[in-house]
Structure 1
């Protein structure tokens, strides 16, 4: 008797469990709030699960990441409301425009290449470079504690 292949539901549950830490970390960097990050990450997985049959297995990370970013860009104001006290990083990122923030989080948090970010956002590599340059310029120098001691 041959073992039965895993169902799409079992496949997705295993993928979601493996992807959750990275997905939550990215959502947290985008929203600046743990509760909003959990909400964003869960909604992203729910959206992706609903469309899982159209998603190529070898490209799941791209589709999940793109869904997360699009959902964040659509609902950024609502997700950011009531964030309360934030650490310095989240306060600094919160001063940026939504696309600048997405580009910097994907570049420095997810370590994606400019071409991958452009594909996720549906824009040109030049636009990604511009968002990154303007975002870094707007952040200015961030204080780093403990350096040089």
Structure 2
């Protein structure tokens, strides 16, 4: 890889690291596993950087690699449970409002996401956290748009049925 490509790749990593870490954390549920997932994905991206950078959407390429690596690693598991203790550094962004309530909301959401099957969690994270279109999510997950719609709908329905989340949303709406 030439010096210019090295610089481009380093710039990509620097600008995208926080977003990639958040996505990886929501997929894996653990800080160290998210770091490993992002690093493994970026290693594979580095090997193909010349082709990836000219294709125009390196984010989609890295997301697809992350989904594939995560799916391969956890293929045998039907459910994973998040360790909420690891959530600290990934979400340390200043936000408006009550910080304690935000921490409670975040913990409830992470615990609820942990209860979803892997494919539903992937669809929900990519569609609603990453704000990808159904087409982009399908490409990242390597499935049809119908499968994305189905998994996302089922995942959202399960999240809506979790009392800890509905209590939080209901109490926020009453104010």
Same fold by TM-score, threshold 0.5 exceeded?
yes
User: Could you say what secondary structure the match of 2:168 adopts?
Assistant: coil
Cα distance in 2 for partners of 1:26, 1:130 equals 20
Q: What TM-score do the two structures reach when normalised by structure 1? A: 0.84
Q: Which position in structure 2 is the counterpart of 1:90?
A: 110
- 1:50 matches 2:74: no
- Give 1:138 deviation, angstroms: 2.0
User: Could you say what secondary structure the match of 2:143 adopts?
Assistant: coil
Q: Which position in structure 2 is the counterpart of 1:35?
A: 32
Q: Which position in structure 2 is the counterpart of 1:101?
A: 121
Deviations 1:16-38 (A, max 9, x none): 11010110011111112222111
Cα distance in 2 for partners of 1:11, 1:28 equals 25
- Give 1:59 deviation, angstroms: 1.5
Cα distance in 2 for partners of 1:136, 1:75 equals 24
- Give 1:121 deviation, angstroms: 1.6
- Give 1:119 deviation, angstroms: 1.4
The number of residue pairs the alignment matches comes to 143
The runs of 5 or more residues in structure 1 that have no matched partner are none
Q: 1:95 to 1:82 in 2, by over 3 A?
A: closer
- Give 1:81 deviation, angstroms: 7.6
- 1:144 matches 2:174: no
The runs of 5 or more residues in structure 2 that have no matched partner are 88-106
Cα distance in 2 for partners of 1:81, 1:43 equals 22
| 8 Å contact from structure 2 (residues 81, 114) kept in 1 | no
Q: What TM-score do the two structures reach when normalised by structure 2? A: 0.73
User: Could you say what secondary structure the match of 1:7 adopts?
Assistant: helix
CA-atom RMSD in angstroms = 2.2
Q: 1:35 to 1:132 in 2, by over 3 A?
A: same
- Give 1:129 deviation, angstroms: 0.5
| 8 Å contact from structure 2 (residues 127, 134) kept in 1 | yes
Runs of 4+ in structure 1 over 4 Å off: none
Q: Which position in structure 2 is the counterpart of 1:17?
A: 14
- Give 1:88 deviation, angstroms: 2.1
